[in-house]
Amino acid sequence: MNLSAESHSIPLSDGNQIPLLGLGTYGDPRKTPKGTTVECVKLAIDVGYRHFDGALVYYNEHEVGQAINEKIADGTVRREDIFYCGKLWNTFHPPELVRPALERTLQTLKMDYVDLYIVELPLAFKPGKEFYPRDENGKYIYHHTDLCATWEALEACKDAGLVKSLGVSNFNRRQLELLLKKPGLKHKPVSNQIECHPYFTQPKLLEYCRQNDIVVVGYCPLGSSRDASWVNLTCPPLLEDELLVSIGKKYNKSSAQVALRFNVQRGVVVIPKSFSPERIKHNFQIFDFSLTEEEMKAIEALNKNIRFVELLMWSDHPEYPFHEEY
């Protein structure tokens, strides 16, 4: 695979392409100052990023859209140079809510289409204004989940030209099979966005996705923040790993750059999120070196099968995806 800063896209099964490196744009809305996302996305475009991963539920999709549109207006990029992935949130699973949710994302971004639209989680929540509906006891209010019906509504959005490609996120094998074996399937999922990094390499799910022509997009490719409200803190910090640090020294790279290169080199898309200008630049500098076969194997052997992101607060949902091995 000849990858370069200018050319690092791989094909999707529907004929479209996805850049192997993207910028994740999630930031805690309570802690991220207004305007931060605009500046970071504009900088990322100047650095060379063309793939941006966002979501309505991140509360900053308007800033991502503003940044992209400003860089289109000043002639830096064209819309077709940009790959934007949006997400269908849990409260919009009923088929009649799918297109309005996507249209809300398009209005927020001020775009005519998104490149990829994915089902963020295989868990439906009670529809309504609240993204995280809870009852008077503070318990999450779930909703009947019918992934096939939701998928059919997404297929209609693709047919209407609102989205180029359709995918999923946090789906296990059984849930992927449900869609792939759906009678009358019109558009198969082209991608599955899952946690993926040297401490959680996902060998079985990765192999299953490869067999079915589904590209794996890895979130938390550098491990994760240490936010105890949603991160499993028993998992050791990935970037301090001795092997990653020592391989990095050999190439004059950091452990983070080695971890990103590892996934990209095996065809896994990575979307590290950062609001630090230095790190945004740093994470992009992974196309001027490559790992040997032995180094790839050694990094694969670091797998501890530990998730940083367990989403245990929803583990009693009937479709919670992580009870099953893959």
Active-site amino acid positions:
58
Distance (Å, whole) CA 314 – CA 326:
17
Q: Which residue has the tokens 């479709």?
A: 319
The pair of three-digit structure tokens given for residue 123, joined into one six-digit string: 């868990």
Query: Between helices 277-284 and 255-265, what is the axis angle to 10°?
Result: 40
Distance (Å, whole) CA 232 – CA 310:
7
Distance (Å, whole) CA 192 – CA 116:
11
**HEC string of 63-113?**
HHHHHHHHHHHCCCCCHHHCEEEEEECHHHCCHHHHHHHHHHHHHHHCCCC
Strands 23-24 and 215-219: unpaired
Q: Check whether 51 is labelled as a binding-site residue.
A: no
Q: What are phi and psi of 37, to 5 degrees?
A: -65, -40
What stretches of the chain adopt beta strand conformation (E)? 9-11, 17-19, 23-24, 51-53, 83-88, 114-119, 163-169, 191-195, 215-219, 269-270
Distance (Å, whole) CA 36 – CA 108:
17
Tell me how crowded residue 11 is: count the other CB atoms within 10 A of its CB: 12
Tell me how crowded residue 249 is: count the other CB atoms within 10 A of its CB: 11
Q: Which residues are annotated as a binding site?
A: 143
Q: Which residues are annotated as a binding site for substrate?
A: 143
